[in-house]
Structure 1
């Protein structure tokens, strides 16, 4: 670990690892840089440096004076990015999502991509007065902060809640009020399409009671030209603490596309297969399949045949994944090869390759899905058997009792 400082300021940032690209992690409201520790511990990308820092007024900088504005925070995070020797992917959670967007817009040549985790829109959350006052009154009240975090999350453990209450409890009441006004009012740039035109990944917890699906769709996704979205099940507003392995897998996949190794493959574009996974819908898969499609998979003891049967299997399979990201794509004649990374069963990592063969009409006539490692394959197959009981012959799946 290396601790650096921006000259003539109180801005310090922690650096770990080395490589030709950096991941800069920026924490959200009332938190500190260590909320990212578990995600960083789960990353598998090679040749990457990770960077963490505390925003003014929080973490190790609770004595910092104002103003506490998005422009001030963006200036400070930008100074850290400028101090690095490599281009960076900028990752911001909650109120830090607008911050990293502003940094990226001002430094497109140094930004490989942007990841917005449970993002407050740059244009502001625009909560009603009653809700805003409840947030503004959190200063100096760790018990109220703990209760709020518990309300807005579904996967924070007792130890997580206790630590976050201590960290947030140190933030001065007047700073808390200023921070709430900052992220609720937003920034003027949020009223127009983003000035950052590079790749963007938006990650949301399915159970987030603050940053809703509608808020993300209307205030975040529509402002970017090159954007993909992922939802992590069984997680709320602090998805990076609740499901760190799932978030890390999504970051690894995004990094491989933002800064791919070699030139034999290309980034994965939207198509019926990948969109069906995003929608987790059997009907969506059916649109991609020919009537006589055949599905082979490492999770099947024998192939499944026919559109109606295959769509049921794929719809159920997509529901098992907590996160799934397609990382690379290549084609040869009628065949398309897709590499992917996923999590399931409480953050367990899965990797695989899918081979799709299409007919002259562009419909899939054969799909071969290869999962690894073996333990997850067997568990996945057994889960499919249980979910599809009464619809698909159980002999297609692994039976751990036999």
Structure 2
């Protein structure tokens, strides 16, 4: 379901993660700016206001988004970026529509859906500030669960872009999909040919949710891929390190635009 669209140009499809909604991807508005891409923000079935498609597995969610992207882009070129669980969805779409996909990016991407098999760094908080945690108020638990940096900037970003999706999520839909979340669907295995368009995969070094090692293991599959592991960043890497992520995303989109001109 399309939640928001901004700008003009070829579509840049954005796909959010599990338990949140499209608003977690809205920092891209400042990162991308006027770069000639039409940003299309998609909501997954548990998002507030989204239609429950009845999908029961991660693959069914990905297939539903693939169908929607086909309607959005028709036969025109596009790029796609996904966060966390949405990275799996984005990779599925990009591989399925590879001939017209100009680029693929992931932010804190889940490359291993089975939580028990993930290679994770230990939980680490680099900046602890009790004053900031007190400022979080009722959102303290949600913020503290993910935050690597207890700073006002990180808190404000969390409150603006992450918390609304958490609070508005449909718990019944999440529970249904959580039961099959660990289904080992890997787009790179279903589509074994390397993905040759420009790619970007950004991870937080302190991401204790999906880690970074499983994503780095896919490097050979992306011969035109940039892989970046950012220090002082956890699972909300683009919230905690917006300038670094923004620079990487803009550079990726420049490469994708050049790919279009070939």
TM range (shorter): 0.7 to 0.9
Corresponding residue for residue 232 of structure 2: 234
Corresponding residue for residue 197 of structure 1: 195
Q: Taking structure 1 as reference, are residues 212 and 27 closer, same or farther at Cα in structure 2, changes over 3 Å only?
A: same
State the TM-score, normalized to the length of structure 2: 0.76
Aligned counterpart in structure 1 of residue 182 of structure 2, from 170, 173, 184? 184
Which of structures 1 and 2 has the larger relative contact order (alpha carbons within 8 angstroms, sep 6+)?
2
Corresponding residue for residue 115 of structure 1: 105
Corresponding residue for residue 253 of structure 1: 251
Q: Taking structure 1 as reference, are residues 195 and 95 closer, same or farther at Cα in structure 2, changes over 3 Å only?
A: farther
Q: Is the 8 A contact 2:57 2:177 kept in 1?
A: yes
Q: Distance in 2 between matches of 1:175 and 1:142?
A: 22
Corresponding residue for residue 24 of structure 1: 13
Q: Distance in 2 between matches of 1:188 and 1:209?
A: 20
Aligned counterpart in structure 2 of residue 54 of structure 1, from 43, 46, 58? 43
Equivalent positions of 1:245-284 (< 5 A) are 245-260=243-258
What SS does structure 2 have at the residue aligned with 1:50?
A: strand
Partner deviation per Cα, 1:129-160 (whole Å, 9 max, x = no partner): xx9xxxxxxxxx9765444223x666673334
Aligned counterpart in structure 1 of residue 64 of structure 2, from 60, 72, 76? 76
The structure with the largest strand share of the pair is: 1
1:179 Cα deviation from its structure 2 partner? 3.8
State the TM-score, normalized to the length of structure 1: 0.52
Q: Distance in 2 between matches of 1:254 and 1:189?
A: 21
Q: Which has the larger radius of gyration?
A: 1
Q: Is the 8 A contact 1:39 1:244 kept in 2?
A: no
Q: Is the 8 A contact 1:87 1:111 kept in 2?
A: yes
Q: Taking structure 1 as reference, are residues 229 and 98 closer, same or farther at Cα in structure 2, changes over 3 Å only?
A: same
Equivalent positions of 1:365-380 (< 5 A) are none
1:183 Cα deviation from its structure 2 partner? 4.1
Q: Distance in 2 between matches of 1:46 and 1:188?
A: 31
Q: Is the 8 A contact 1:92 1:99 kept in 2?
A: yes
1:74 Cα deviation from its structure 2 partner? 2.1
Instruction: Show structure 2 runs of 5+ residues with no match.
Output: 121-137
| 1:12 maps onto 2:2 in alignment | yes
Instruction: Show structure 1 runs of 5+ residues with no match.
Output: 1-10, 132-140, 267-402
Q: Is the 8 A contact 2:88 2:187 kept in 1?
A: no
Corresponding residue for residue 158 of structure 1: 155
Q: Taking structure 1 as reference, are residues 181 and 241 closer, same or farther at Cα in structure 2, changes over 3 Å only?
A: farther
Q: Taking structure 1 as reference, are residues 143 and 48 closer, same or farther at Cα in structure 2, changes over 3 Å only?
A: same
Corresponding residue for residue 91 of structure 1: 81
Q: Is the 8 A contact 1:101 1:196 kept in 2?
A: no
1:222 Cα deviation from its structure 2 partner? 4.2
Q: Taking structure 1 as reference, are residues 182 and 194 closer, same or farther at Cα in structure 2, changes over 3 Å only?
A: farther
1:223 Cα deviation from its structure 2 partner? 3.8
Q: Distance in 2 between matches of 1:67 and 1:80?
A: 14
